[in-house]
Copies of this chain bind each other. A is one copy, B any other.
């Protein structure tokens, strides 16, 4: 049954702004002026306010009453806290994905990794981060746990937005992504979980090591 899906403006604006944060067009700390954005997006302030409310609730935006909304900037400690949570959750997602994954989904992940291979060669950092986000989020979607997906989407957006540069050499990530995909293809839950755990732990450790100088970029 074909069903017409209507999407209200608030939802469209929310998605647009979230993508602008993911792509780096909106930076942490940047003030979001309602009138400016409303004009730029061609809507009134009303749907924009709802979108802000959603983004604020999702911790991507911070609204200070009567002073305005800002793309939220995270402290290093907060980013580490996020990694602590990711370390608990992404292995769970990978474990589940190994159970549920379909051949179409395998093909999609393979396609993403081909693009990641290329971006690793060309050292295109922006693309590396975007594909990394998509790869991880695809696995969370395959896990069939909607709330897990939602939460990790938030965290991964925060990490992309707040961490300049990469937390490990892309060749290493590339290799780990491939190993992870192999485990998923082989329906090996235990291995998928273990690889994902190592993959995220590594990054957390590197984040800790860079806690003082990483702001210098």
Identify the A interface with B (CB < 8 A).
6-8, 10-11, 46, 49-54, 56-59, 65-66, 78, 81-82, 84-85, 88-89, 92, 145-148, 150-151, 155
A151-B151 CB under 8 A given contacts A53-B50, A54-B57? yes
Q: Chain B nearest CB: distance from A78 CB in Å?
A: 7
A148-B54 CB under 8 A given contacts A6-B65, A65-B8, A66-B6? no
Q: Cβ of A53 and Cβ of B10 under 8 Å apart? A: yes
Q: What are 24 A-B contacts defined by CB distance under 8 Å? A: A6-B65, A6-B66, A7-B65, A8-B65, A11-B65, A46-B46, A50-B50, A50-B52, A50-B53, A51-B53, A54-B56, A54-B57, A57-B57, A78-B146, A81-B145, A84-B92, A84-B145, A84-B148, A85-B145, A85-B147, A85-B148, A85-B151, A88-B88, A88-B89
Q: Chain B nearest CB: distance from A7 CB in Å?
A: 7
Of B8, B57, B82, which is within 8 A of A147 by CB?
B82
Q: Please measure, in the bound complex, the distance between the C-alpha atom of A66 and the C-alpha atom of B4, giving whole angstroms.
A: 12
Copies in the complex: 2
Of B6, B46, B54, B85, which is within 8 A of A89 by CB?
B85
Of B57, B89, B151, which is within 8 A of A53 by CB?
B57
Q: Please measure, in the bound complex, the distance between the C-alpha atom of A51 and the C-alpha atom of B82, giving whole angstroms.
A: 26
Chain B minimum-CB-distance residue to A91: B88
Set of chain B residues within 8 Å of A147, measured between Cβ atoms: 59, 78, 81-82, 85, 155
Chain B minimum-CB-distance residue to A5: B65
Chain B minimum-CB-distance residue to A148: B85
Set of chain B residues within 8 Å of A51, measured between Cβ atoms: 53
Set of chain B residues within 8 Å of A8, measured between Cβ atoms: 65-66
Chain B minimum-CB-distance residue to A74: B147
Chain B minimum-CB-distance residue to A11: B65
Q: Chain B nearest CB: distance from A150 CB in Å?
A: 7
